[in-house]
Amino acid sequence: MDANLKLRVQRELRLLSEGGCEAVLVEEPVACVVYKALATGGDPASTDVAVKIPDGYPASAMDLAALPSGSPLQGRVAGGTNPQGTFSALGSDWTLSSYHPHQWPDNAWDPNRHGFHTYLTHLISWLKRLN
């Protein structure tokens, strides 16, 4: 991982930590951030969520979110019934959901404003609005 990219992501994770959210940077085998124990609107009451670091980040927007493979929430989150593949990180397998919070013009990706620290609000909303 490029040193400047790593510094940026670490800064964003520090902001999350200051706000009380635990998130971990994973560099191998897949570059991603794993948000720990996020509250849900169902059962289980909390879950980890992984988000890949997109090629070209921060110019490229984050897209998709992954739940632990086999999670009972998979079919209940927006885009969860349209899986977008799997990957392994932190000793777990993750299933990507078709979740695109930055696709709308009123929430267009701005690399000077958005990052892993702001993506948290989208993930919280995503996990609370279960089908």
Q: What are phi and psi of 15, to 5 degrees?
A: -60, -40
Round to whole Å and give the CA distance between 59 and 110. 8
pTM: 0.95
Model confidence band, residue 107 (pLDDT cutoffs 50, 70, 90): confident
Average predicted confidence (pLDDT) for the chain = 95
Round to whole Å and give the CA distance between 58 and 90. 23
- Number of domains observed in the structure of the chain: 1
Model pLDDT for residues 55-73, shown as the tens digit of each residue: 999 999 998 999 999 999 9
Model pLDDT for residues 15-41, shown as the tens digit of each residue: 999 999 999 999 999 999 999 999 999
- The reply to whether omega before 111 is within 30° of 0 (cis) is no
Residue 31: give the domain boundaries: 3-128
pLDDT value at residue 103: 74
Round to whole Å and give the CA distance between 111 and 24. 20
Round to whole Å and give the CA distance between 33 and 35. 6
Residue 23 pairs with which residues in a beta bridge? 35
Contact partners, residue 89, CB within 8 Å, separation at least 6: 26, 29, 30, 32, 34, 50
**How far, in Å, are 5, 42, 54, 101, 126 from residue 75 at the CA level?**
33, 12, 24, 18, 12
